[in-house]
Structure 1
């Protein structure tokens, strides 16, 4: 087998493993040590095969590390645990990946991996719904002990079935992720990449099938957040063209997507969730409001990125067990000034990755803000990737191994 072929296979697995490290229930949450060691191994193999890191990415890597070191020195109160090692491995892996894969290839491989994941998840979802979850190969039950009780997670390495606290099977498609809403986020990112690189007017039959699979996967999550961002994703697509002849088509797309949103809201109890602050909206509302109180209590430097015990104590004090708002969580950890820097750098990354106009970038910013407000994912590899420079985005000098 040619070295170039081996390299492409490694890069594909690399991108897929970045997604797995960003939320797989089985791998990231229950086997994080070995999972991130594999990520580090993939980084080593990639560097061995191609031997390239870019100066711009070294600057990003060093800047993030320097900020974290200074912040940790200022806020240090407890022993730094495994999270620091995982974060360092993540940054090293992104340094190598983004220096060796083009923007176009990253999008292509991301879409491809999520298409496979979506198809597998839809098959598993149907098996669980119409037959029995226990027939899935690799089925297991993981017990989780809490201070005041316990939970059980039913899963396989490739599909999360449900939790004891949700009466077993979710009856919603969680895919490889910890819950259906998280699954919807990653499928929506794949959809955004797809809409970014494909012209639906000139799309092939294969492209149409891919679109159906991604949209079908999102619909199967039954996630309110997923549905809202699905609509916004198609509205983003309408901003791609500047031609007047496309205006009519764009208006039709907007009407259809808004109609879908209204129907979903009417028949999916969305208005009830918002008005009465119940269900997932109620939880996120409390997490946001009460979490902001904690964030503002130490708004300059936060409680410390690695001071988990102190953060948990502060959140428990206001009635929050597990905070779902990722942006608020980050404010509590590192303070509001650094979060503003994070948001600005992420916005620049979104504009660079999607290469869109101001209106399109605004819609994308809103979509990712919704993602961050619904899950604690701000420091996961897929999202940190937006801070780095994928090759061929700009011209730059590289440092090559001898």
Structure 2
């Protein structure tokens, strides 16, 4: 029987992963200013802590992260001579705070419910995705056309595609360039769905001792099903790395990693070769992006590869503090256009975007904080380095710093109560 506190833990964990990409919920149907919405969610978690009499303590890594953001904000305000936008300031502080508050509230044992949460998210998406795909790709029937416009919202604030119905996002159903409609679940796009699942996978590995063997394998199963259904290029390429690492990950076998490395590298090479040559969604997408970048075609700046190459020029021009994390979006895009950014889409590479907006110094310290945080509990440079590299790879596909889950790796106490 699930106790009241456990139900609250499950609700808040589910809320965290919903806020990591369901923009309709994150922005409360776009009816209130961002700062007000963020404060509402923070107060909600604090209210839970009061009702259940849970004390929330600040650990030193969270305080360090808070100070880093504060220093960045003050420095950019002085040196860039640009007025910070209060909504953006609140949003970034909210993103790295909400996860800390939730994980401080929940009991360690409740993390085993990650299996139930991910199972619910994936199955609920499959219930919509499978019949939608069959009707679209076999019978050429677009389900979205039968949903009233009053029940549809934007997948993101800047989107003109009203394809989100709160529990599912039909993004690109009208412009499906792949051989099969891709599963976004309720996230803003398939890559966001896959990226969230991969980060949950890493969190589950770090908290592996709270799971039974059966529960962990079931969690892995639903994560794999979700990533496969997304047909996300980055998701499908990164998933084998994490899966193989989870097979060999054990604090008692750290010295054997070098031996396993000799097995992992050729295995991954074969998997990537197979995926590139036999899965059209990967091979065609990668080749099309390389074609855009090499020929400098319009739209190349918003591809994952093109974005990084384009942003690299910005990073070199102003490497230390970046161009501003908290400035008005219109100012940011004016800057991009003045530097010949010619895409109709948003920047597609989260890693490059972080470096361009925040600068190399802040970015380095943030990733270093992730590394030392994981290593302080696992005493394994291999594990710490592996997880950091995987997070960097996940960042190549989405601007994850606009959402809360990635910050968890910088301050979570993986041995907490």
TM score, norm. by length of structure 1: 0.80
The answer to whether the 8 Å contact 1:23/1:177 transfers is: yes
3-state SS in 1 of match to 2:320: coil
Which position in structure 2 is the counterpart of 1:56? 59
Change (3 A) 1:138 1:43: farther
Change (3 A) 1:369 1:82: same
Which position in structure 1 is the counterpart of 2:367? 343
Instruction: State which of 225, 228, 231 in structure 2 corresponds to 1:219.
Output: 228
Which position in structure 2 is the counterpart of 1:118? 122
> 1: distance between equivalents of 2:108 and 2:292?
38
1:309 aligns with 2:330: yes
Mean CA deviation greater in 53-62 or 170-179: 53-62
1:295 aligns with 2:315: yes
The two structures, once aligned, show a CA RMSD in angstroms of: 3.9
Question: How much does 1:254 deviate?
Answer: 7.3
1:223-372, aligned counterparts within 5 Å?
223-241=232-250, 242=253, 258-269=269-280, 270-271=282-283, 273-274=285-286, 277-278=290-291, 283-307=303-327, 308-316=329-337, 317-319=339-341, 320=343, 321-351=345-375, 355=378, 357-372=380-395
Q: Aligned residues, how many? A: 385
> 2: distance between equivalents of 1:35 and 1:20?
14
The answer to whether the 8 Å contact 1:288/1:325 transfers is: yes
> Which 5+ residue runs of structure 1 have no aligned equivalent?
395-402
> 2: distance between equivalents of 1:221 and 1:104?
30
> 2: distance between equivalents of 1:121 and 1:377?
21
3-state SS in 2 of match to 1:218: helix
Determine which structure has the larger strand proportion and give its number. Answer: 1
Report Cα offsets for 1:353-393 as digits up to 9, x if no partner. 7x373223322222111111111112421111222244743
Mean CA deviation greater in 41-50 or 298-307: 41-50
The answer to whether the 8 Å contact 2:133/2:181 transfers is: yes
Mean CA deviation greater in 96-105 or 310-319: 96-105
The answer to whether the 8 Å contact 1:124/1:159 transfers is: yes
Question: How much does 1:188 deviate?
Answer: 1.6
3-state SS in 1 of match to 2:130: helix
Change (3 A) 1:349 1:121: farther
Which position in structure 2 is the counterpart of 1:129? 133
3-state SS in 2 of match to 1:152: coil
3-state SS in 1 of match to 2:77: helix
Question: How much does 1:118 deviate?
Answer: 0.7
Mean CA deviation greater in 80-89 or 96-105: 96-105
Change (3 A) 1:248 1:18: same
The answer to whether the 8 Å contact 1:76/1:304 transfers is: no
Which position in structure 1 is the counterpart of 2:42? 40
Report Cα offsets for 1:168-209 as digits up to 9, x if no partner. 99701111111111111111223334455559xx843x6544
Instruction: State which of 76, 99, 107 in structure 1 corresponds to 2:104.
Output: 99
TM score, norm. by length of structure 2: 0.78
> Which 5+ residue runs of structure 2 have no aligned equivalent?
136-141, 295-299
The answer to whether the 8 Å contact 2:19/2:26 transfers is: yes
1:368-387, aligned counterparts within 5 Å?
368-387=391-410
Which position in structure 2 is the counterpart of 1:400? none
